[in-house]
Amino acid sequence: MIKFENKAKLACAYGGMVWGVFWIPLRALDDAGISDVWATVVFYFLPLMALVPLILYRWRHIIRGGWRLQLIGFFAGFSMVLYSNAFLYTEVVRAILLYYLCPIWGTLLARIFLKESIIPIRILSICLGMAGMLVIFGADVGVPWPKYAGDWISLSSGIIWAIAMVLMRNDESNGAIELTTTYFIWGTITAVIIACLPFSREFSTLEIGSLINSLPWLLPVLLIVVLPGVYAVMWGTPNLNPGIAGLLFMTEIIVGSSTAAILTNEPFGLREITGIVLITLAGLMETIGHSVTRFIRVLFPIEK
């Protein structure tokens, strides 16, 4: 059981790492003339098209998943679409900080709806993760109380993702394939709806010619990087406490800050290294705690 849980943790951490490099193809799309809301549409629509044969092959499983599967797909897809678009209406740092309050919402919702206990080491993990995030983005930002539209969008996306994690945790009838396909279905639907809303049109329009020219490099990225990353998230999340899963997704911050430093010459020094260490410890804290507990029990067995 412990080994299986560790595999689930690795899957979620890997999914977070994939999200951490999303900015690279998004920036490339922007350079190609496809930006903002329509770039989000592309990132959901093209993988969905690749999944059509699988959807047709497993349509009975999807139908059998019923309303619960559709709810999970809706909340998960809608959450990430909101998060992607939040950056249009606020500062990047504020959007990330508010979204990554997600481990707190996940822990609280798991306690309320799943009756999972909030153990002290989990509280310590959340505190370490939050501290690492604040260190990386600069403590001078302070508490990012929502004040811009994008702040509320980002905060909402984190809460909605926490709801999706709780639903996945409480779901035993749907596999990762069904969760992945419904995620892209609802992600595409919500992304298109948002892109077509009047307030979104001021940002960009879809340039079909630019999209076609981008396909030779975009399709391999979506099929080799994005799809496996989403599948890993959909496989690992149902097997973990939502609070812990939320912490493990913080690998996005680690990978995002590291790749930005390498590819864009953004600063990467002691502050970033300290933040990465804190976030890594946060993700490993429960595993370390369990290992230490088992070691102590071996050294000092309790006599019955």
Instruction: Give yes or no for residue 216 having a pLDDT over 70.
Output: yes
Cβ count within 10 A of residue 208:
9
Least confident of 79-83, 100-104, 182-186, 218-222: 100-104
The answer, yes or no, to whether residue 280 has pLDDT greater than 80, is: yes
Determine the average pLDDT of the residues in 106-131. 89
The answer to whether 69 and 62 have CB atoms below 8 angstroms apart is: yes
For 207, phi and psi rounded to 5 degrees? -100, 105
Name which of 126-135, 187-196, 261-270 the model is least confident about.
261-270
Interval 22-73: pLDDT, tens: 888 988 887 888 877 888 899 999 999 999 999 999 999 999 999 999 999 9
Number of CB atoms found within 10 A of residue 183's CB: 28
CA 142, distance to chain mean position in Å, is: 23
Question: Other CB atoms closer than 10 Å to residue 274's CB: what's the count?
Answer: 14
In a domain, 304, yes or no: no
**Quick check: 85 and 194 in contact, CB under 8 A?**
yes
Report which residue type is found at 27: R
Contact 236, 8 (CB under 8 A): yes
Q: Does 30 reside within a domain?
A: yes
Report pTM.
Answer: 0.88
Its sign, for the CA torsion 257, 261, 263, 264, is positive
Structural domain boundaries, residue 168: 2-299
Confidence of residue 108 (pLDDT cuts 50, 70, 90): very high
Residue 190: inside a domain, yes or no?
Answer: yes
pLDDT classification of 279: cutoffs 50, 70, 90: confident
How sure is the predictor about 165, in pLDDT bands with cuts at 50, 70 and 90? very high
Q: Is residue 204 part of a domain?
A: yes
pLDDT the model gives residue 139: 59
Q: Whole-angstrom Cα distance, residue 39 to residue 34?
A: 6
User: Is residue 186 in some structural domain?
Assistant: yes
Tokens of 281: 């410890």
pLDDT at position 23: 84
The total domain count for the chain is: 1
Any domain includes 209: yes
Q: Classify residue 116: in a domain, yes or no.
A: yes
